[in-house]
Structure 1
Amino acid sequence: MQNKGTLTKWNDDRGFGFIKHSETEMLFLHISSVQLMPRRPKEGDILFYDIIQDSSGKKKAACVTIEGLQKVNSRTKNITYKKPSKFNSISITFIIVFALLGYYVKTHYFNDDERNSPESFLPKKIQFIENKKAENHFVCQGKTHCSQMISCEEAKFYLKNCPNQSTDGDGDGKPCENQWCN
């Protein structure tokens, strides 16, 4: 005769739980011990089971069936256990509402010209440097020495905005002091 107990704890993701065997004893249950049932066990199920000892000498449930459910005949129906889907109608509704809200914001609050301009894809620091170029009419073109500059204004622009400069020989922050910025 099989034992009868209640499944008190169940971790469906990992496929194991514990059966309340008696007032003081809990018995381990692994999903592999459940015998051809039409669904996975859940907390609160009344279970019928045998007790065996594993290789370490601990007791565990074996040949487990769920009260009120008939075993599935393995020859007529092939059952494979699948984890229940975590998506439900509330999740799908949330995704749809979120997508519609995003589309509304995109079409009503953003100007296509600004959003699709090449400058919109540049990091803010590069955008700032690009704006400075337009203000000063100078562009970093690889000039690194005072002999390549045409004015003090250009030398200051290069020192402030362009990499690898050799225009401030004494390091005082004033470029090309002998040539352009006396």
Structure 2
Amino acid sequence: MKGRIVRWVDDKGFGFIQSSETNGDIFVHISKFKSGYRRPQIGDEVEFQIGSNKGKVAAKKAILIGIEPLKPNVSPLSIVFLGLSIAFAGYALWAYVVEPRLNPPYENMGFSCQGKTHCSQMTSCNEAKFYLAHCPNVKIDGDNDGIPCESQLCSR
């Protein structure tokens, strides 16, 4: 149905619609209007569906006719903040996820292949990982799962 707002109490969020298709005015609450538009005003044309509210006839859905949706209020400061947030998230992703995979911690600890081949000769899990990745003839990954010295140094 179509009608026109004939009374509107903005501070209480309700008003009445008059339509040639009904007898009497139809109650309408602000919550029944489609969101994203300005608040209704007296004289606005509306399209609505009739329902009931506490036994009385009321609009159950309403939309303002010929009124454009509100444009989002985006300030330049919020755009800058969004850009900085994205940059920070990108840096954090790089620093804490990507880079550690490219350069595992044991790479920068000064280890070198010195002929050690067994877990009992290693001093840390990081040393065992270095040996497994870089040194020949090591016998420190018995189950071949890529994790060296699991029972002595590198427990899961």
TM-score (norm 1): 0.36
Give the greater-gyration-radius structure (CA): 1
